[in-house]
Amino acid sequence: MVQLQPYMDADFWLTESLETDAEVMRELGGPVERARLPEKHRRRITEPWYFKIVDPTGAAVGTIGAWETPHGAELVYETGWMVLPAHQGRGIASAALALLIKRVRAEPRCSSIHAFPPVTNTPSNALCRKFGFVLLGTTDFVYTGRTLHCNHWSLATPQAPAATTRRHVA
């Protein structure tokens, strides 16, 4: 069984391994420039729901999280995950997403979580369907300065009857 452990400063190697790997980043526009990694790392450290995924042997094999992000004129809780290539296809992302959803659902201020996988990312879109996310449509989404054509999925939590978002006040 996988575990979610807080993402820490010592986990920079994991961000570097994931974000510079051509296979992991194939659907996200390719590897991230190394100069951008420290900024990504700092943001992950400060996010209360950003975790490293640890496999049954205790090895860190990926990351998953949920964070507030602007989407149009609204502020939503977005989720995303990455698993090192050697550990993909083993149900690790699925197990980690189940754990993350459980944590997010326990938080009353979060009425829904949203995922924005590129439309061509079959495994991530399948995970969204598996966990009952509702496909709201497609949207262009910027990731690390790259515009991606993505599916917009939403999963309501028990506090909300339908996919809802918070209004973003500029």
In terms of Cα–Cα distance, which of 35, 37, 49, 34 is closest to 12?
37
| CA distance linking residue 132 with residue 18, whole number of Å | 27
pLDDT tens digits for the chain (170 residues)?
899 999 999 999 999 999 999 999 999 989 999 999 999 999 999 998 999 999 999 999 999 999 988 888 888 899 999 999 999 999 999 999 999 999 988 888 888 899 999 999 999 999 999 999 999 999 998 888 889 999 999 998 765 444 444 443 33
Residue 165 pLDDT = 43
Indicate the pTM of the whole model.
0.88
**SS3 state of residue 33:** coil
Check: CB of residue 82 under 8 Å from CB of residue 18: yes
CATH number for the domain whose boundaries are 3-167: 3.40.630.30
The backbone region for 70, taken as left when phi is positive above 0, alpha when psi lies in -120 to 50, beta otherwise, is beta
